[in-house]
Amino acid sequence: MRLSLRLSRSPVLLALALPLAAALAFSDETLDKVPKSEGYCSRILRVQGTRREGYTEFSLRVEGDPDFYKPGTSYRVTLSAAPPSYFRGFTLIALKENREGDKEEDHAGTFQIIDEEETQFMSNCPVAVTESTPRRRTRIQVFWIAPPAGTGCVILKASIVQKRIIYFQDEGSLTKKLCEQDSTFDGVTDKPILDCCACGTAKYRLTFYGNWSEKTHPKDYPRRANHWSAIIGGSHSKNYVLWEYGGYASEGVKQVAELGSPVKMEEEIRQQSDEVLTVIKAKAQWPAWQPLNVRAAPSAEFSVDRTRHLMSFLTMMGPSPDWNVGLSAEDLCTKECGWVQKVVQDLIPWDAGTDSGVTYESPNKPTIPQEKIRPLTSLDHPQSPFYDPEGGSITQVARVVIERIARKGEQCNIVPDNVDDIVADLAPEEKDEDDTPETCIYSNWSPWSACSSSTCDKGKRMRQRMLKAQLDLSVPCPDTQDFQPCMGPGCSDEDGSTCTMSEWITWSPCSISCGTGMRSRERYVKQFPEDGSVCTLPTEETEKCTVNEECSPSSCLMTEWGEWDECSATCGMGMKKRHRMVKMSPADGSMCKAETSQAEKCMMPECHTIPCLLSPWSEWSDCSVTCGKGMRTRQRMLKSLAELGDCNEELEQVEKCMLPECPIDCELTEWSQWSECNKSCGKGHMIRTRMIQMEPQFGGAPCPETVQRKRCRVRKCLRNPSIQKLRWREARESRRSEQLREESDGEQFPGCRMRPWTAWSECTKLCGGGIQERYMTVKKRFKSSQFTSCKDKKEIRACNVHPC
């Protein structure tokens, strides 16, 4: 289900009223006072009973928390009670604003039942939804289809029944106002953010608890590569949006969503330096879930102030097409000009709109054109791991806890919210208890190193320890290095005699346009010493600057060097550049020879190898042959960026493939010589033959003819032969008859006489195609034979060709 949110013109009302049975149980007197002409749908809203206002453990929520509805769009509406509270009955009605409900046109939109065992339409008011059976429950859900365009603005109210008590609110957690979305802003989330009136700053800790596991989400759970990517986000002003429902993913969000890489996202955040106070970062989690006694939940600290009081973050659930969890523009400033103490939010995954895959390990399938960011639902696709044919809510995959740990500076709301605030404001933040497992044996920590900053700019200091022994290899040991923020000498917050300075403002332009001059920069005192002493730290610095080294007619006027670009590497050794431009070409018309860019090496933190992130294997290709034995291949792609570490996993696999046997055509010998004519005179014929060497197999071409005849005529026969010729004929016939007798003992070939063929041998296979053989041997060779073909013969044929 896509949530598409807009601006409004006029409102619509959803109301949860009283169930029929419960209402009649304690409101007969009230019902009697209602005029009979009014419909029951209006009377249930006027029922009076024991009534409580301001109760906060019941809530009415529309999925996605929209302030506007899109005509004709379906929304999931949830009524819930926070444990241990519960409710027995309810009724859900959608009414236009300022309508009583006694007329059909007073109702707005239609409902759809999700679970018939929990909910049903009310018999006396068919446009309303009530409980199917009265029992204890903590949550119900229905779909509400928004009314057509032009219905205008409305109000959502909720009433539930617990025994004889009605909980009803005109304001608060059981009231929701939805307004029709203006088509001018179709698809854009418009949740107005109020200006913050809080003073000073507040420091928070974000802790991320990943609950996505095979136990909680068993369908198609990826056992091998499940993980959460590195968390990336920031505290920012309302002028900057990291991501939002109904908006489009930036390139940085896309790389987090598809690759789990925070590099581009961090670059985008840092480019908004005026709108961002703190960049939020936390390590990735491989695998996605482990018990907290094995691995601590990742956390990060950040600060907010009056202008940058919103917090957003995201992390990819991997592997997935482009699914993430996170918060967007979470406001930590209260209406009472204070800072929120604690935020606990369960998270469901959302789709970045850049890949159209529907399963965890779907092949890459870019969404063209790109779609808007939307929450995943249980009705998206039957193959989705979150699919539920009944349309139930998705089980949360993570929980984020944002807790205030300190407040600094003068506060507008000077009354602490609770005892914890007093401790947080007065005492310095204490280090968390040592969570080192007993199976990890370390040396003592070394002393803290010097601060990396020699001024009042923020820096880091480090200490180290050595891992001496790991008694249980299945329990990971924490890091051997510890880092802590710090400032240069004389800038410590703990020193009451020192002052806190602002960051340096950018350098002023050089004092001259040609040659060597001077430039300056300034900073100001943010907090004077608590002991009332004078702040002695410098508020101004000057240094030499060179704009144009040569001041001659052939020299050109250049701008000052810009700031250095970010390092080209995210870890290890890289390069950084800075640029300047030609402000004025040489007066003599020559070419400007001054360099416009400079490059130098830069060193980032040490690179750490991370596991390869690979796409699923593609389908096997077709076999390389159309019959018999061949080869086939499949491929996969490297999804993690090259700069995140080397990957030695194979990207292509090859295997043998077997298709049905190829057809074998019949094979024959060459034709023999033509025989003698079978008549001594008159018309006769002669023949020639050839033998089958291979019978056809597997549908091969059949054998053609093996014997050919053709006519022959030696001479005309005499009608009255003489006695001499008669004797000659008799002698020839006698010789021929003798020759025929000899031929009857074997087969005649030119130049030799052969024995008959032997019987066929047994087949070499019982099925699947075997071979039989038979032989013919030479019986007698004629002395006058000049034929080299007079030798033993052999024939082969296929047998048992039926499949096994």
Please write the tens of the pLDDT for every residue from 239-263: 999 999 889 999 999 999 998 888 8
Q: Calculate mean pLDDT across residues 769-775.
A: 83
Which DSSP state fits 285? Answer: B
Name all domains of the chain by residue range, CATH numbers in brackets: 58-180 (2.60.40.4060), 201-408 (2.60.40.2130)
> Could you tell me which of 457, 496, 344, 404 has the C-alpha nearest to residue 200?
404
Mean pLDDT rounded to a whole number for the chain:
76
* 430's tokens: 């204490």
Q: Calculate mean pLDDT across residues 641-660.
A: 74
Residue 724 has pLDDT above 80, yes or no: no
Peptide bond into 756 cis (omega under 30): no
For residue range 750-767, what is the model confidence (pLDDT) as tens digits? Answer: 677 888 889 988 888 888
DSSP string of 447-511, one letter each residue: PPPPPS-SSSS-EEEEEE--EEEES-TTS----SEEEEEE--TT--TT-TTS-EEPPPPPPPPPS
Comparing 227-231, 272-276, 434-438, 523-527, the range with the smallest average pLDDT is 434-438
pLDDT for residue 41: 66
pLDDT for residue 610: 52
How far is residue 394's CA from residue 213's CA, in Å, rounded to a whole number? 14
> Could you tell me which of 663, 708, 706 has the C-alpha nearest to residue 795?
706
CA distances from 101 to 13, 95, 105, 144, 153 (A): 11, 7, 8, 17, 16
> Could you tell me which of 394, 396, 398 has the C-alpha nearest to residue 76?
394
Give yes or no for a contact between 422 and 402, defined as CB atoms under 8 angstroms apart: no
pLDDT for residue 382: 86
For residue range 331-368, what is the model confidence (pLDDT) as tens digits? Answer: 999 888 889 888 888 899 999 999 999 999 888 889 99
pLDDT for residue 80: 83
Give yes or no for a contact between 229 and 281, defined as CB atoms under 8 angstroms apart: no
Share of the chain above pLDDT 70, in %: 76
The overall longest dimension of the chain from CA atoms, in Å, is 166
For residue 280, list its beta bridge partners. Answer: 233
Give yes or no for a contact between 670 and 690, defined as CB atoms under 8 angstroms apart: yes
How far is residue 765's CA from residue 253's CA, in Å, rounded to a whole number? 64
Q: Which residue has the higher pLDDT, 785 or 372?
A: 372
Cα 384 from chain centroid?
12
Which DSSP state fits 1? Answer: -
For residue range 202-225, what is the model confidence (pLDDT) as tens digits? Answer: 999 999 998 898 888 888 898 877
Helix 251-259 vs helix 263-271: angle between axes, to the nearest 10 degrees? 160
| CA 685, 690, 691, 697 torsion-angle sign | negative
> Could you tell me which of 396, 372, 391, 264 has the C-alpha nearest to residue 322?
372
For residue 295, list its beta bridge partners. Answer: none
Cα 800 from chain centroid?
54
How far is residue 14's CA from residue 351's CA, in Å, rounded to a whole number? 28
Comparing 9-13, 439-443, 632-636, 700-704, the range with the smallest average pLDDT is 9-13
* 576's tokens: 């950084």
